[in-house]
């Protein structure tokens, strides 16, 4: 049986490879390998809980805000249950949502134009959409400019990007003035003017399908619809099909109560349910049967220790673990989030996607386009609601013991941070990322991950160019930086960093 080794996977964040077994011109088995060890959980042990967000946001230079947010939610949850914390002030919570929303717009724009977009361009796939051509395409270049402007505006609230400084336990330490808020509002408005209105989606999709002229009121949306048209024409509605099980943590609190604007949900067997916190906590486990970790590195997320490497382990092929909910693999990401929210703007997942709740390469792309439109409107409304004269942060202390979980919806899907704190120090820490949910290895029963199952059955007429497999892996927008970290092949390294004291020698 022929094997195809794709190493590295290109146009994703981080290091990944796939081994495909091919029979009669189609994939019959796939093994998804995360190529580097993760050890970020070990770094926060023994530190005050307020250090954890600063350290864990360094897990990745792309997914930085969501890790800081999930970490803060975890330690706030622990403090609240210990009776040491009440809640984040409304406008501090709102400013967090604005920054998270701007980050998501930036991240989705990068994915749709820079990472996945070239797969559907004239230069790569002869689609006729030369505006999508990498580097030289007019749409590609415009998107780069817009995402740069978004990140610059994000820095006005976050202090810097990547790795903002102002998210903090208890709220946000930023103190923006009205002029700064107005400048950010103008940037988001310019992004909306480039993108176009949500209600134009169906008409612009039709124009792109006809290769019509770029509409002045929605040039960005035209390019995004070009991606969807090219994906549809490539057959993406019928390949990259997962098992139809979805998991979303939800995200954004907005101006209402503690309910989420994009709600939490589990979709399986054609049914949507909304598990509460305790159901999620009780249902999530990590399997390490095919991961290069010791057997006791897995298990329930509430008790699993930081991962212990076992690089010589038999039958292992990945540094990623295999998360499961109630023993089953779950797809996560914007598609899962919109299924949980029961939203399908323009009905484009229902048609041409075939079913709004269908797992496919096309529907993953479509959901990202839809979420880009939805969140742009949310960020605009929250900027209008933000009152810089209201409190942004509350009281905080690290001096407590307790356990907490931070559930959040990163741009790539369901993210959770799990923490135990003893006498003001982190005693255990665990991170479960969207990419391990989607691209992890098989479990003890040899059940594949979502990505492994999604590529099985894909036709590979040319073994030197398995393009639909690559289109499928990119449709998950994997971020291996969040899933894995660094192991030296021959040596151990230890570095001591002495903080610079104000007024002292550097």
Q: In what order do the strands lie in the sheet with 246-248?
A: 246-248, 265-268, 271-273
Rounded mean pLDDT of the chain?
92
- Of residues 60 and 455, the one with the higher pLDDT is 455
3-class SS of residue 351? coil
- The alpha carbon of 230 is separated from its chain's Cα centroid by a whole number of angstroms, namely 24
CATH number of 3-387+402-483: 1.10.645.10
User: pLDDT over 90 for what percent of the chain?
Assistant: 84
- Structure tokens of 394? 């509350």
* pLDDT computed for residue 1 by the predictor: 65
Q: For a pLDDT cut of 70, what percent of the chain falls above it?
A: 94
- Put residue 24 in one of left, alpha, beta given phi > 0 → left and psi -120 to 50 → alpha: left
- Cβ proximity of 140 and 122 under 8 Å: no
For 216-240, write each residue's pLDDT tens digit: 999 999 999 999 999 999 999 999 9
The CA distance from 440 to 434, in Å, is 10
Binding-site residue positions: 41, 60, 63, 431, 479, 482, 485
pLDDT at 48: 97
DSSP per-residue string spanning 378-395: HHHHHHHH--TTS--B--
Residue ranges of the annotated binding site for Mg(2+) are 41, 431, 485
d(CA 241, CA 226) in angstroms, rounded, equals: 21
pTM for this structure? 0.93
Reported as a pLDDT band with limits 50, 70 and 90, residue 486 is: very low
Q: What pLDDT score does 488 carry?
A: 47
SS (H, E, C) 258-292: CCCCECCEEEECCEEECCCHHHHHHHEEEECCCEC
Cα 76 off chain centre by = 22
pLDDT of residue 60: 78
Bridge pairing between strands 246-248 and 413-422: unpaired
| Residue numbering of the annotated binding site for Fe cation | 63, 482
Distance CA 506, CA 494 (A): 21
The better pLDDT of the pair 38, 104 is held by: 104
Q: Which residue positions form the known binding site for Ni(2+)?
A: 60, 63, 479
What are the structure tokens assigned to 52, written together?
A: 């954890």
What average pLDDT does range 78-90 have in this prediction?
96
Which pLDDT score is estimated for 308?
87
């Amino acid at each position: 049986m022929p094997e195809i080794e794709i190493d590295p996977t290109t146009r994703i964040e981080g290091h990944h490879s796939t081994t495909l077994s091919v029979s009669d011109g189609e994939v019959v088995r796939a093994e998804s390998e995360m190529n580097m060890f993760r050890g970020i959980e070990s770094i926060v042990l023994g530190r005050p809980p307020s250090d954890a967000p600063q350290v864990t946001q360094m897990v990745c230079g792309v997914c930085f805000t969501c890790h800081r947010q999930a970490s803060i939610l975890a330690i706030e949850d622990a403090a609240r249950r210990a009776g040491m914390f009440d809640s984040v002030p409304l406008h501090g919570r709102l400013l967090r949502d604005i920054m998270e929303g701007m980050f998501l717009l930036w991240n989705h724009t990068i994915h749709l134009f820079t990472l996945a977009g070239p797969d559907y361009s004239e230069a790569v796939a002869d689609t006729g959409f030369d505006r999508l051509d990498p580097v030289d395409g007019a749409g590609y270049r415009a998107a780069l400019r817009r995402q740069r402007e978004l990140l610059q505006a994000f820095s006005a609230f976050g202090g810097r990007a990547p790795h903002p400084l102002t998210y903090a336990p208890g709220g946000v330490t930023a103190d923006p003035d009205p002029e700064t808020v107005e400048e950010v509002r103008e940037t988001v408005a310019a992004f909306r003017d480039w993108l176009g209105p949500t209600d134009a989606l169906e008409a612009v999709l039709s124009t792109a399908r006809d290769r019509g002229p770029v509409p002045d009121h929605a040039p960005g949306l035209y390019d995004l619809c070009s991606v969807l048209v090219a994906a549809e024409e490539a057959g993406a509605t019928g390949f990259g099909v997962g098992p139809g099980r979805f998991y979303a943590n939800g995200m954004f609190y907005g101006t209402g109560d503690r309910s989420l604007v994009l709600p939490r949900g589990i979709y399986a067997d054609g049914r949507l349910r909304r598990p509460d916190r305790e159901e999620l906590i009780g249902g999530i486990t990590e399997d390490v049967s095919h991961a290069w970790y010791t057997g006791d590195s897995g298990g329930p997320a509430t008790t699993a220790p930081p991962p212990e490497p076992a690089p010589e382990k038999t039958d292992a092929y990945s540094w990623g673990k295999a998360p499961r909910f109630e023993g089953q693999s779950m797809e996560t990401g914007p598609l899962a989030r919109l299924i949980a929210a029961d939203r399908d703007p323009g009905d484009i997942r229902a048609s041409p996607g075939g079913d709004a709740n269908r797992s496919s390469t096309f529907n993953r792309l479509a959901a990202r386009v839809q979420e880009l439109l939805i969140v742009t409107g949310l960020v605009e409304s929250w900027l209008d609601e933000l009152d810089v004269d209201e409190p942004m942060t509350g009281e905080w202390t690290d001096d407590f013991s307790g356990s907490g979980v931070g559930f959040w919806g990163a741009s790539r899907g369901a993210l959770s941070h799990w923490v135990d704190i003893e006498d003001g120090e982190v005693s255990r820490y665990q991170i479960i990322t969207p990419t391990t949910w989607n691209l992890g290895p098989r479990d003890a029963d040899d059940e594949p991950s979502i990505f492994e199952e999604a590529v099985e059955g894909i036709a590979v007429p040319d073994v030197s160019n398995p393009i639909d497999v690559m289109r499928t892996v990119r449709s998950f927008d994997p971020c291996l930086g969040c899933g894995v970290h660094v192991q030296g092949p021959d040596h151990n390294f230890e570095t001591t960093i002495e903080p610079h004291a104000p007024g002292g020698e550097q």
